[in-house]
């Protein structure tokens, strides 16, 4: 069952997320996929399946645990998880706006 998280402001700090690359909503989908929507309406799919299953996943390896993966949260416009993993919202916005999908491991920076 997909889980959806939305935010218009970070309630802990009262800071409004106004940059276009900030994530406004995330819907956790099966198969380590995230459906995201940004402040400017840009939306698409972040595919984390190859990354979480990779031998070089680092901090993202823990997200192979589906229960942890489903705890994706939006903090100050960025996707975060309780284990400290997070995704760069500017890079995510750039990739999703160009391609409508971001296969994370395939585009990982060296």
- pLDDT, tens digit (0-9, with 9 covering 90-100), for 58-97: 999 999 999 999 999 999 899 999 999 999 999 999 999 9
- C-alpha 24, offset from chain centre: 11
Q: What is the DSSP letter of 65?
A: S
- C-alpha 79, offset from chain centre: 4
Query: Quick one: CA dihedral 84, 32, 3, 39, positive or negative?
Result: positive
Helices (H), the chain: 49-52, 66-69, 89-99
Domains along the chain? 3-104 (3.30.2020)
- pLDDT, tens digit (0-9, with 9 covering 90-100), for 33-65: 999 999 999 999 999 999 999 999 999 999 999
Residues 17 and 7 sit within 8 Å (Cβ to Cβ)? yes
> pTM of the prediction?
0.78
């Amino acid at each position: 069952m997909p889980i959806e998280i939305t935010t218009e402001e970070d309630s802990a700090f009262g800071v409004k997320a106004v940059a276009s690359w900030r994530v406004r909503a995330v819907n956790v989908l099966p198969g380590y996929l995230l459906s995201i929507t940004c402040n400017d309406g840009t939306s698409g799919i972040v595919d984390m399946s190859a990354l979480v299953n990779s031998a070089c996943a680092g901090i993202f390896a823990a997200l192979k645990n589906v229960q942890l993966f489903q705890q994706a949260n939006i903090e100050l416009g960025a996707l975060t998880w309780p284990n400290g993993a997070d995704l760069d919202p500017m890079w995510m916005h750039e990739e999703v706006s160009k391609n409508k999908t971001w296969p994370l491991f395939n585009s990982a920076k060296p």
